[in-house]
Structure 1
Amino acid sequence: MRQKAFTLLEVIVSLGIIVVGLVGSLTLVSFTISGSATSSLKLIAAGLAQEGIETVRNSRDSSGNWGSWYSGISDGSYRAEINTSNFKWTIVGDSTPFEEKLRFNSATGLYFYSPPSQGSLTLFSRGLTVISGPDGEKQIFSEVRWQERGRNRSLKAVGYLYNWK
């Protein structure tokens, strides 16, 4: 006599295999989404860090006189600010550059500190540190900090400026 139905044990084993497969798939999807969000934040932070260095470089390039620029930017902490009406960058001395979060304006795609009415608050803060190096070089350290899932994160970039004119 042939048995045409599944036994209870066969059904339980089959369901167990299906559940393990589903849980594994959902875990993989969860880690993929989480990794994507983390990668996105790191990419934004890298862009902001590079922008900080480029802002100081632009300040040097547009000054026209290395000597006056070199003596005008002493060792210390700074932050890069943009005037949202004329899009001109300035380097502002700031002993606590990480106290204030950057804002983002989706219409212009710019990250900035003020005015607050023109953008939404972000997770990021950026600080610049200038250190005089040998032979008249300036070392520019740009650091971006943010908090992600309760953990403090940071990304650092460095640039070197020389009297090339």
Structure 2
Amino acid sequence: MNGNLGIKNLSLWKFRKKSSSYFKCGFSIVETLIAIAILSVAVVAPMSLAQRGLIASIYAKDQVTAFYLAQESVEYVRNLRDANNYVGRSGDSGDWLRGFDGIYDANQNIMFGIDVSAQSAFQIINCSSNLALCRLNFDTSRGIYGEQTGETWQSTIYTRTLQVKPFTTDSDPFAGADLIATVTWRSGNIQRSMVINEKIFNWYPAPVE
């Protein structure tokens, strides 16, 4: 009788020991999974932040470049106004902005491209019917943007357009013009744009003598 009891106790002890080993193994797997999850979060979170920081840095760089490209076209119009007056073109006519053909027509939604790197006769491009004509390239030898092509010219992500919309006053039909400079580019799958709106005034009713 006692022998049978001893055998039963021994069997029960072995079963408990074996079951205890299973439970220990089970907890070890759970703990391992938790550790892996914590480690994954610890690694992925900084990498995600670094990626966002890199994307923000690239966007900031592109945005600054776009701003200066838009501002360049505005400054070009200012210089053209002064140059037209200097060579004797009266401010009492549309000649004060000669070069921007068609801006005094009924339809003033003309899109111009500005290429300051080209010869003077080719610096203003009408790209209303084809915006690809206003796509900017970059000259690696001189470090400037333009719309030319060649060995040293590389394509860029930027397209620049300029609208020149004259306005009048009661006393002056050639008072000035609204300038709308727009630079667009694509950042990944997102279309970006930089727009500058400025007014330019016809300060010189008569040519400089």
For normalisation by structure 2, the TM-score amounts to: 0.66
| Alignment partner of 1:121 out of 152, 155, 162 | 155
- Give CA-to-partner distance per residue, 1:121-162, whole Å, 9 cap, x none: 111111111101133111111111112213322221112110
- 2:64 pairs with 1:37: no
Q: Which residue of 2 aligns with 1:51?
A: 72
Q: Please state if 1:160 is matched with 2:199.
A: yes
Indicate the structure with greater strand content.
Answer: 1
Identity %: 23
Structure-2 change in CA distance of 1:29 and 1:161 (3 Å): same
How big is the shift at 1:55?
1.1
In 2, Cα distance between equivalents of 1:70 and 1:124: 26
Question: Is 2:136–2:160's contact at 8 Å kept on the other side of the alignment?
Answer: yes
Cα deviation digits, residues 65-110 of structure 1 (max 9, x gap): 45222465342321112345x7998333332362132110123221
Q: Which residue is 1:110 aligned to?
A: 144
Going from structure 1 to structure 2, the CA distance change for 1:114 and 1:10 (only over 3 Å counts) comes to: same
In structure 1, what is the Cα distance between the partners aligned to 2:144 and 2:120? 10
Question: 2:96 matched to which residue of 1?
Answer: 69
Structure 2 segments unaligned to the other structure (5+ residues): 1-26, 104-109, 170-174, 205-209
Larger helix percent: 2
Q: Distance in 2 between matches of 1:107 and 1:90?
A: 20
Say which SS state the counterpart of residue 123 (structure 2) adopts.
Answer: strand
**Structural RMSD (CA):** 2.5
Q: What is the CA distance between 1:36 and its match in structure 2?
A: 1.2
Q: Could you list the runs of 5+ residues in structure 1 that have no partner in the other structure? A: 1-6
Q: How many residues align?
A: 158
More moved, 133-142 vs 23-32:
133-142
Q: Following the alignment from structure 2 to structure 1, what is the Cα–Cα distance between the partners of residues 127 and 182? A: 14
**3-state secondary structure, aligned to 2:96:** helix
- Tell which structure's C-alpha radius of gyration is larger: 2
From 173, 184, 190, give the equivalent of 1:151. Answer: 190
Q: Counterparts of 1:28 and 1:153 in 2: how far apart (Å)?
A: 22
The residue aligned with 1:78 is 112
Whether contact under 8 Å (2:70, 2:160) holds in the other structure is yes
1:131 and 2:165 are equivalent in the alignment? yes
TM-score (norm 1): 0.81
The answer for the alignment partner of 1:19 in structure 2 is 40
- Partners of 1:91 and 1:82 in 2: how far apart? 8
SS at match of 1:122: strand
Aligned with residue 179 of structure 2, among 130, 140, 143:
140
Q: Which amino acid aligns with 2:179?
A: I
Provide the secondary structure at the position in 1 that maps to 2:34. Answer: helix
| Paired residues of 1:55 and 1:89 also in contact (CA < 8 A) | no
